[in-house]
Amino acid sequence: MNTSTNTSGHVERLEDFFQYRTAVKVWRISLPVFMVFGILGNILNIVVLRRRRYRDSPTSQILLLLSISDILCLLIGPTRYVLMFITGKDFTGTSSAYCKAYRFFNYLFTDFSAWLVMLVAIERAVAVGVPHKVRIYFTRLRIYCVAIFFGCFLAVINFHFFITYESTQGSNNTELLSCDVSIQNDHYHFAIIVFPWIDFCVFVLIPVIGVTGCNIFIIAMLLVARYKRMRMIQGGSQTKMTSMTAVMFAISVFLVAAVTPTAVYQFVYPDLFRLQSEGNIEAEVQLLVLAIYAVVAAYANCAVNVVLYSVCTRKFRSELISMFKRKNQVFPTSQNRGTRGAPGSQNIETVNVAQIETVV
């Protein structure tokens, strides 16, 4: 229900609550902006990452797949809501086939993007731990094979939408919930009680643990490398991250921030849903507000990458600027900091530290 009567006899509606009205405004304004800006930004990412200077980088190959996945997320998810804002009609409620397909692909590609961010973190961790072998382990073919495996695994996880969900009228008579699982469905308990926890593990827990673990490992290796360098070379320069590692840290932070509302929603859902079923409109408001912010955060994460890449790496920013200039950019040749320029008499420990500085 979207109305409730309090003890004084006053009938309350969802629109009477300030937090609900605010969340709806954020929802209506942000999703179209994220869709347009995110799709254009990710197209720019693809164009830049396909240029010669990025073509052979393992990280760039994963980021390329991430941009494609983010575009598909933004085409599938926000489009539904934008059409709802314009027409006042939820098209997922008009057809069970469209309802099932929308749910499946929406969950598939949002999960896929999160797992690709985890793959970027793993690649950067390998580049730090075994810099000699990162290009052996992360060839283009192997990256694509891992991505295909991720896609197939996540497709199996989310395939139940073709069985459980259908076009139904929402319990609170709103168009937003018209694509749902019927209470008469044999798999109602799985879809409403069991799968949300599976989705929590797939979309939140596994990517966050993977990304956080890799980030901690990289930070530890950076500190060890700096300590060794300062001991071996008195007054030497400090270890610095490369731009790709900075990008990885940035998208990792945004991933954690984006999935946090989903995690909160998952933990409070059982109690709030029970209270909502008993007619508590405040619980319904809290549930809807959390759901809106979870959706907004997830799609915001798909739209910000072009900003993160531009801020974190000067090379990407230069490539992006050069695309809009007819005159070719001429970049000064920088001094080689890799191991090829190292003296032949350098001991193996010094070489390993230098390699870490180069690949991180």
> pLDDT digits over 52-108, tens only?
778 788 888 999 999 999 999 999 999 988 888 888 888 887 888 889 999 999 999
Counting Cβ atoms within 10 Å, is residue 234 exposed (0-12), middle (13-18) or buried (19+)? exposed
Residues 6+ positions from 47 with CB-CB distance below 8 Å: 323
For position 36, what pLDDT does the model report? 93
User: Residue written as tokens 């690709």?
Assistant: 116
pLDDT at 264: 86
- What are the tens digits of pLDDT across the range 134-190? 889 999 999 999 999 999 999 999 999 999 888 776 554 444 446 778 777 788 888
Amino acid 191: pLDDT: 86
pLDDT higher than threshold 80 for residue 45:
yes
248-299 pLDDT, tens digit per residue, is 888 888 888 888 888 888 888 878 878 887 888 888 888 899 999 999 999 9
Is the pLDDT higher at 237 or at 205?
Answer: 205
Beta-carbon count within 10 A of 44 CB: 20
Query: Across all residues in the chain, what is the average pLDDT?
Result: 79
CA 166 to chain CA mean position, Å: 27
Residue 160's DSSP bridge partners are none
Residue pair 191/181 in contact (Cβ under 8 Å)? The answer is yes
pLDDT average, residue stretch 328-357 = 39
Q: What is the pLDDT of residue 156?
A: 97
pLDDT for 7 equals 44
Domains of the chain listed by start with CATH number: 16-325+346-359 (1.20.1070.10)
Q: Which residues contact 208 (CB under 8 A, 6 or more apart)?
A: 255, 256, 259
Is the model more confident about 27 or about 93? 27
Q: How far is CA 146 from CA 8, 42, 359, in A?
A: 60, 22, 22
How many Å apart are CA 189 and CA 312, to the nearest integer? 45
Note whether 74 and 84 are within 8 A (CB): no
